[in-house]
Chain A
Amino acid sequence: MIEPVTDLAPITALGGTVPRSEIFGALTLSENAGLALASLALRKDQEMPKPFGLPLPEVGKAVSMGGLAAFWTGRGQWMIEAAGRGETDFAAALKAEVPKACVSEQTDGWVAFDIASTQGAAPIEALMARLVNLDSTGFGPGCATRTGLEHMSVFVIRRSEDRLTVMGMRTFADALWHALAVTARRLDD
């Protein structure tokens, strides 16, 4: 009989036992390991639902309410986020809210890095200008989009003037951290 393995230790997408966090001048880059994600896609002609009372955002926008948030990912499609619920079956909870829609688990597919600025919007916009080909001044609080970053496909969400989240594919966690960290470190050069 095979002995059950009881000494498994959970690790984050970057391989650590605790989420990584690092400060670069005015910017703090931190791994958000607890974020639960599930995608929601409407069926044809389905009415717009309000999962957990959350109003789903318009094209290119993001909304948040308490520990929940949603951003638009495509026509009739959104990603729903739940802070601190990464280890729960969030997709099942969402499916129970919107039984007619298509729901897919996404937590294990993505890694989320939060970027916070202590000096307002300027460092966030300077970082964006170096990393993504988007109009960073037009990408204000409440905007979210998918784009390319160093050949990786990422979601970029402007949470507020001084906060930005970048989500990339979990298998690229190290490469994405590297891209963000190197750019943030060189902002003052």
Chain B
Amino acid sequence: MLIPHPLLGLRDSQEFTYFGDASLMWRPDPEAPEAEAAFCEYVFLRDNPAGVHRELWFHEQGDRSWLVVTRDTTTHEILGAELASDVKGAAQ
């Protein structure tokens, strides 16, 4: 399986380690009034979709970047990859 790295092109998926749901990037504000409930959801609850899923992959044996990879969990087709820093930067 090849991951289309946004900077380095197609790279062997064995160079990467999988971390999990990309929603982990959005840590709740610990100062917010509903912080406890928000953290409970953040830490313990995950969507488990059969189909398109956005997830975090770490290019461990590469440039050490975090990627947001869009993958179809039913076919393992990789639909795209973005740098997590770009995804986070664009959202702020």
Question: For the side of the interface on B, what is the size category?
Answer: 10 to 19
Q: Are A146 and B14 in contact (CB under 8 A)?
A: no
Contact with A along B12-37 (1 / 0, CB 8 A): 10110000000000000000000000
Instruction: Give Cα distance in the complex from A52 to B52, angstroms.
Output: 48
> A74, A133, A148: which contacts B63 (Cβ < 8 A)?
A74
> A72, A73, A75, A147: which contacts B15 (Cβ < 8 A)?
A147
A-B contact count (CB 8 A): 34
Decide: A148 near B15, CB < 8 A? Known: A73-B63, A74-B63, A74-B64: yes
Q: Are B7 and A146 in contact (CB under 8 A)?
A: no
Q: Are A148 and B8 in contact (CB under 8 A)?
A: no
Least CB distance from B62 to A in Å reads: 5
**B52-78 at interface with A (beta carbon < 8 Å):** 60-65
Contact with B along A112-139 (1 / 0, CB 8 A): 0000000000000000000001000000
Decide: A59 near B15, CB < 8 A? Known: A145-B62, A146-B62, A153-B61: no
In the complex, whether A55 has a CB less than 8 A from a CB of chain B is no
> B7, B14, B85: which contacts A59 (Cβ < 8 A)?
B7
Chain A residue at smallest Cβ distance from B63? A74
Least CB distance from B84 to A in Å reads: 11
Chain A residue at smallest Cβ distance from B60? A153
Least CB distance from A148 to B in Å reads: 4
In the complex, whether A60 has a CB less than 8 A from a CB of chain B is yes
Give chain B residues whose Cβ lies under 8 Å from the Cβ of A153. 60-61
Interface residues of B (CB under 8 A from A): 7-8, 11-12, 14-15, 60-65, 83, 85
Interface residues of A (CB under 8 A from B): 59-60, 72-75, 133, 145-148, 153
